[in-house]
Amino acid sequence: QVQLVESGGGSVQPGGSLRLSCAASGFAFRFYVMGWYRQAPGKQRELVARITSGGNSNYADSVKGRFTISRNNAKNAVYLQMNSLKPEDTAVYYCNRLDIQDYWGQGTQVTVSS
């Protein structure tokens, strides 16, 4: 069964940093494009970053230059380094594969406020 476990969220002030981690299991992780998504209350889920099996990455304009996605295929893990955080980054952050999304993990809460 697919399992996705996000961690590393917390509460920070504007301009702060967080590093999110995602542990994946139940599928051949190293072969799939992975992404980080976020969802704020009352808003649609948004893809903020993606990374191919070979390590090529892409970002939403809203986070470009501030966030960095990476992966460690030997550990079945994907990470999101978040710098220069803004209040509008406040959301629950999720990881998932981009081809099939039948299952979502619990996510990890990121709160950016003064």
pLDDT, tens digit, 9 for 90 and up, residues 72-114: 999 999 999 999 999 999 999 999 999 999 999 999 999 999 9
Which amino acid does the sequence have at 113? S
Q: Which helix (H) or strand (E) holds 110?
A: strand 108-112
42: left (phi over 0), alpha (psi -120 to 50) or beta: left
Tens digit of each residue's pLDDT (9 = 90 or more) over 6-60? 999 999 999 999 999 999 999 999 999 999 999 999 999 999 999 999 999 999 9
Q: Which residue has the tokens 């470009």?
A: 64
Torsion on CA atoms 10, 90, 94, 36, rounded to nearest 10:
-110
**In which residue are the tokens 């996705």 written?**
4
pLDDT number for residue 43: 96
The pLDDT score that the predictor gives to residue 45 is 96
pLDDT of residue 59: 98
Give the residue carrying structure tokens 């992966």: 71
Q: Structure tokens of 4?
A: 């996705």
* Average confidence score pLDDT of the chain: 97
Give yes or no for a contact between 14 and 114, defined as CB atoms under 8 angstroms apart: yes
> What pLDDT is stored for residue 93 in this prediction?
98
